[in-house]
Structures are given as structure tokens and as C-alpha cells.
Amino acid sequence: MKKVGLYLFTNDLRINDNTLLHRASQLVDDLLCVAIEPKLSTYSVRLSQEQEIGAHRHLFIKQAIDDLALSLARLGQRLFVLDQNTNENLVQIIKTQHVTHVFVSSHCAHDERELVKDTLTQCPDLLISQQHHTTLFESDMFPFELAKLPRSFTKFRLQVERLEIEIKESVITYLPPLPQTATDSYREPILELDDSITGDYVGGETAALTHLENYFSHDYAGTYKQTRNALDGIENSTKFSPWLALGCVSPKTIYRHLKQFEAHRGANDSTYWIYFELLWREYFYWKCLTLGTSRFGRESSDLSNEQLLDTTAGSSFAKWKSGNTNYPIVDACMRQLNATGYMSNRGRQLVASCLIYELDIDWRHGAAYFESQLIDYDVASNWGNWAYIAGTLNPQAPQNANKQCVTHQSQSKSRHFDLVKQTEMYDPEHTFIKKWHREDEASASIRYQDVI
């Protein structure tokens, strides 16, 4: 019997360092390549009060899918695109194309895992191959069981940072052909470019690899630790996150480049610190996997009415989103996010702290808004970092997220940032604030004085 494979691209929109795609190319006679376009879940729509993914994130995803389609076309393949939450479509394709094998990246998030489970329930004879290939490690490399994942990042780091990471380069030069029965009835990616949306970041594996080469061809990595906290500046932190989030580049490829940089130009605190930050990403990934829905402060996708914002909080939330809180540093960061789809790590910490501790709004609303806007939105890093700042990183009582939030907030004062001090440290001349309050520089400085 013919082996018909279906490769489902989710958070791994790449050809290189894609061991699962390589396995598919070796195993099946025919292959269908399908990508799922992310959408905001109902839960995130309600929390963020946004109907859909923001323009910058949307464009970045489209570009990434388009780039993947081009790479597949070079290998004689085609890419079909499905909307998220459409496992019926997926099941339909599997049935009509007589798919025998499905290859799909393992995912740390609940909904994506459910999609695979549902598909398997409806097509019980299907052989599914999965692998965590958007991480540095596989769980069986850990010196602990996943169920006993260390509660703190430091404990996790100390146990994993010396593990050997396999960094051999894998390039795919052959893919099996499309099944002859596959017709034009599936949608190929259509890039609807809106000329008014431009940015520093272009989605896709091609742009990711160019950025990676460019970053390591300079000395930026050698001074990363000193510059990484800057609020602005393309060279001040690596800016790998947008491409990592969609899997346009793998963390192993980044790690390989980092090791090459160290071999040629020398290792130092800064080069180690890039690895250190990648370990934070890793930690949040495995944490998200072990927590299931409680990572999001929910037990089901329903959010009862009483958990939504009242009128006053709703108005504060709207002002926070649009960058009109009257905390100048926060407003500047939020305007940067809305105008570009990106915000520095320092900025994210400050705006999150402001939402939770100054405006007294449930952290999940902020996390959901970030989900809608960030071009580097990554389920584990986003909800993990928000939970960390809110003091709910290790939720005890997932059945009541609001109470949980209150209990933990009191334990996490260290994540409550002093916005005035932070402004003095990271924007002493108000260069960043003025840049994003350009339309009214004078009043920006007046408002800043008002706050201090």
C-alpha cells in the first residue's frame, strides 16, 4: 500500500534543521504539505477585546507562510493553508487523500495538542510522528522527569545548561511528490500585502537566516549583556524572537551560530548570556507543556462574564492598549508595539508591571493583548512571562485564576517595577519617550513631570 504523508506546519515554518520533515521525506511515497494559519482563540478575543490578530503580526505570519511556500515549490512541492481551529478540514483532507502518516511538531500548548488528539480520534488508523523540534532539548535528555520540572528557572538552568546539544546542520534536498489526487481545491497561500504596513522585520526562513548571518557577522554578540536592556535599537538585542516564534529558524541553528562566533571571536559573559536567555525560552516552553490550561489561568475555554472588566477598568485597559496611560515610558512602549509589532524585553516588563500593579488589571488581559499584537508572539514565553510578573508562574489553584492572581501578587513585589527609576535608568534623556510622543514632545515632558 502506498504511504501517503501529510506534513502539518505549525510553529516550524522552515525547511532547514527540520528533522521531522526529513523523516517524512525518507518514509512516505507521496506528501501533502499543509500549514495552519494562527487565529486568536475565543478566550483571547474576550480578554484582549480585539477581534483579530493585529496588522503587523498578521503580515509577518503571511510572509513566513509565503516564504515557506516558495521553498517548497523549489523542491517540487506545494503548500496548502488551513485556518486554525479547523480540524474538520484537516480530517477531511486526511480522509479524501487517503493519508496514512501525519508529521507534526510537538507543541507545548493545550489547544494545539488537542488538535492532534482530535484528529487521531477521528482517524484512528493514522500513524502520527511528532517531535519537539522547536527547542534546544528533547525531554528525554533531562536529568529529571518532565512531571518534576524544577519550579524555578535557576534550578532548571543549573540542571540543563551543560547538556550536550546536537548541532549538526541538516538541509533537505528532496521531498516526495504531491499525491496525484490532490487537486486545486485547497487554498495556496495568497499574500495580500497592505502597502501601508511596513516594518523592520520580514517573516520567513530566508529573512531569518539573513538576519542571523548579519547579526553574527558584527561584534554585537560580544557586547550583548551590556546592550540587551536597551528600549530601542535593532543591534542592542538579537531580535531573533520573531523568527523563533514561528519556527522560521530553530534555536539549535542559533546555538550553532553562537558557538561558531565564540570559536572565531572568543566566548565571554555576553555570548553566554545569549544562551542564558535561550534557556529562559526553553524553561517557559517546558513549563507551559506541564501546566496545560492552567498556564492561561483557565480550566476551559469559557470565561465567565464576571471575570471581564468593569467600566473603569475597561477604560484603563483601552488607554493602556493605545499608549495613553499618562505613564510616559509605558505609553512610549505601547505605541512602539502598536506601530511595529515589537517591544524590547525591558519595555514588556514595564508595561506588564504597570497594567498589573498600577492599573490593577488582571494580567491575562495584557497577555491576550500581547498575543494579538506581537510579531514574536510565542504562547509559552508570552503567557509565562506575564504569569511570572503577576506572581503566578507556578499556579496552585488553577480552578480559580482570579484568586490565584491576588494571592500571588503579594508574593511578587520584586516584579513590580518603579517606572520613574526605570525611566531614569533606561531613558535618562527621554529620547525613547520623545520618539514615541513625537506629535507632542512638550506635553510628553510635562506629563512625565506630573508623574514624578
- Kindly list the residues in this chain that would bind ligand FAD in the complex (CB under 6 A): 228, 237-241, 244-245, 274, 277-278, 280-281, 284, 344-345, 348-349, 352, 370, 374, 376-378, 381-382, 385-386, 389
Per the CB < 8 A criterion, the answer to whether 384 and 280 are in contact is no
103/327 with CB nearer ligand FAD: 327
- Taking the C-alpha atoms of residue 46 and residue 409, their distance in angstroms, rounded to an integer, is 23
- Minimum CB separation of residue 143 from ligand FAD in Å reads 22
381/423 with CB nearer ligand FAD: 381
- Minimum CB separation of residue 451 from ligand FAD in Å reads 21
239/256 with CB nearer ligand FAD: 239
Neighbours of 316 (CB within 10 A): 18
Question: What ranges in 297-378 are assigned the alpha helix state H?
Answer: 311-322, 328-340, 345-353, 363-373
Question: What ranges in 107-250 are assigned the alpha helix state H?
Answer: 110-122, 153-160, 205-217, 224-227, 241-246
251/328 with CB nearer ligand FAD: 251
67/277 with CB nearer ligand FAD: 277
- Minimum CB separation of residue 178 from ligand FAD in Å reads 33
- Minimum CB separation of residue 285 from ligand FAD in Å reads 9
34/254 with CB nearer ligand FAD: 254
- Minimum CB separation of residue 416 from ligand FAD in Å reads 13
- Taking the C-alpha atoms of residue 381 and residue 383, their distance in angstroms, rounded to an integer, is 6
253/385 with CB nearer ligand FAD: 385
Neighbours of 26 (CB within 10 A): 8
44/238 with CB nearer ligand FAD: 238
Amino acid symbol at 10: T
- Minimum CB separation of residue 379 from ligand FAD in Å reads 8
Closest CA to 447 of 431, 435, 426, 433: 433
Cell 488528539 -> residue = 117
Crossing angle of the two packed helices 328-340 and 441-451, in degrees rounded to 10: 130
Per the CB < 8 A criterion, the answer to whether 279 and 255 are in contact is no
- Minimum CB separation of residue 29 from ligand FAD in Å reads 37
b/e map of 198-213 (b: 16 or more CB within 10 Å)?
A: ebebbbbbbbbbebbe
104/288 with CB nearer ligand FAD: 288
Per the CB < 8 A criterion, the answer to whether 277 and 229 are in contact is no
- Minimum CB separation of residue 141 from ligand FAD in Å reads 19
- Taking the C-alpha atoms of residue 70 and residue 204, their distance in angstroms, rounded to an integer, is 10
Contacts of residue 154, defined as CB under 8 A and 6 or more positions apart, other chains included, come to none
- Minimum CB separation of residue 401 from ligand FAD in Å reads 17
- Minimum CB separation of residue 308 from ligand FAD in Å reads 21
Closest CA to 196 of 61, 83, 58: 58
348/408 with CB nearer ligand FAD: 348
- Taking the C-alpha atoms of residue 67 and residue 91, their distance in angstroms, rounded to an integer, is 26
